[in-house]
Amino acid sequence: MTHSSYDEYRQPEPEGGRRKRGGGGKRRRRSPLDGGAGGDGSHEMAMVEDVEFESYYGRPVVKAPPWETPIGIYLFVGGLAGASGLLQAGAALSGNAELRRTARLVAIGAVGVGTPALVIDLGRPERFLHMMRVFKVSSPMSLGTWILSSYATGAGMTAANEVDRMTGERLPLGPLRPLLRLAEGPSAALQGVMGAPLAAYTAVLLGDTAVPTWNAARHGLPYVFVSSASLAAGGMAMALTSRRNAGPARLLAAAGVVGDIVGMHYTKSRMHPLESEPLEEGTPGKLLTWAERLAVAGGIGTLFARRSRTIAVASGLALAGASALTRFGVLHAGHESVKDPRRVMIPQKDRLEKRRAAGITGDSITTGW
């Protein structure tokens, strides 16, 4: 690194230690394709082997939000609730009472798990209601809070009606019962209308960050998330409803499986190899591989679920599991992607180069007036 004669007095550097990680030290840019992507020609790549890459001691450049397991759970149950909201609305409109009841109970269960999970993950859980201070379109988290709370209001009302009916009107409602029934229709509509946004907003929430893997996934992640929600809700409803009434749930689940797999491949095809790598390697990669396998298995199961309740239950659970794994896989892939500064720096340098090659030079942070 240095060449002065005083270097003799310098302590010997540990083998492979300081220099590799260190001080403006040069990191040989490994091919990001070591993992095997890119050969498919889907990326136009300005990848040059042996480009030396500078970083600041290999330390992270951006930070991932401190979202841990509870948020992974929320991503899953939020989707489950969202798509169940659509299922209950469809079932109510088509007069499928059993499916309607199942979907509403699944939905309220999912909201019941998801909301506390969101609160627990806050740094100051007691200030949860501060989320309701503002309504901010530029913040997907703010929109999501309002979507979730209006959805939960609808879901609570519809579920209360179902439970009241199931218990033979034994809930101690007194004179409120007619009011509850009156509210059932509007509540079901609210729950239905908020269902799709609830399933989709979390994808925007992740996309709207500087975390390289999430941000780069923004072009396709909403497709993955609504599909994952659909297959989970379809799967759960299929498992908990009699075969005769589960037809729409089976179809929704099957559509979800197709959307999920196609969506994930499309998402990755729009990403820089260094950004998509965390979705394919390591623990998150494993989670996502198993998610895809379970989704395929469950999807095949839906084709036969009309014949056997056992198959319906098994494939329904497989689908729910697939959805949960997808969410945790994507969550952890993001966390993984901030650890190595190359995943931030190299895609940024590449896009900068691309713009410069196209003659756009005035929009970078080190140029212009």
Partner 1 sequence: MGLLSGPEADPAADAGWGHDHDRKGFFTDTSICIGCKACEVACKEWNHNPQDGNLQIMGSSYDNTGSLGANTWRHVAFVEQGKDRIEEARETGRKLVSLGMPSIGPRSGASTPGGRPGEDLSRADTAPPDTPEFRWLMSSDVCKHCTHAGCLDVCPTGALFRTEFGTVVVQEDICNGCGTCVGGCPFGVIERRDDGTVAPKGQRGRVQQDVPNKGTANKCTLCYDRLVEGEEPACAKTCPTTSIKFGDHDDMVESAHERIAQLHEQGMTEARLYGANPEDGVGGTGSVFLLLDEPEVYGLPPDPQVPTKDLPHMYRTAAVAMGGMLAATALAFLGGRR
Q: Residues with Cβ < 8 Å from 7, sequence gap 6 or more?
A: none
Tell the smallest beta-carbon distance from residue 176 to partner 1 (Å).
31
Q: Please, which residue, 178 or 362, has the CB nearer to partner 1? A: 362
Closest to 107 in 3D by CA, of 169, 153, 167? 153
Q: Please, which residue, 160 or 221, has the CB nearer to partner 1? A: 221
Tell the smallest beta-carbon distance from residue 168 to partner 1 (Å).
29
Tell the smallest beta-carbon distance from residue 356 to partner 1 (Å).
7
66: how many CB neighbours lie within 10 A of its CB?
A: 10
Q: Please, which residue, 47 or 62, has the CB nearer to partner 1? A: 62
Closest to 235 in 3D by CA, of 253, 256, 212? 253
Tell the smallest beta-carbon distance from residue 226 to partner 1 (Å).
4
Closest to 52 in 3D by CA, of 346, 352, 275, 344? 346
Task: Give me the phi and psi of 140, to 5 degrees please.
Answer: -60, -30
Q: Please, which residue, 134 or 179, has the CB nearer to partner 1? A: 134
Task: Give me the phi and psi of 243, to 5 degrees please.
Answer: -60, -35
Tell the smallest beta-carbon distance from residue 305 to partner 1 (Å).
12
Cα–Cα dist 102/238, whole Å: 9
Q: Please, which residue, 294 or 346, has the CB nearer to partner 1? A: 346
Task: Give me the phi and psi of 368, to 5 degrees please.
Answer: 75, 175
Q: Which residues of 288-314 are buried (b: 16+ CB within 10 A; e: fewer)?
A: beebbebbebbbebbeebeeeeebbbb
Q: Please, which residue, 33 or 251, has the CB nearer to partner 1? A: 251
Tell the smallest beta-carbon distance from residue 186 to partner 1 (Å).
19
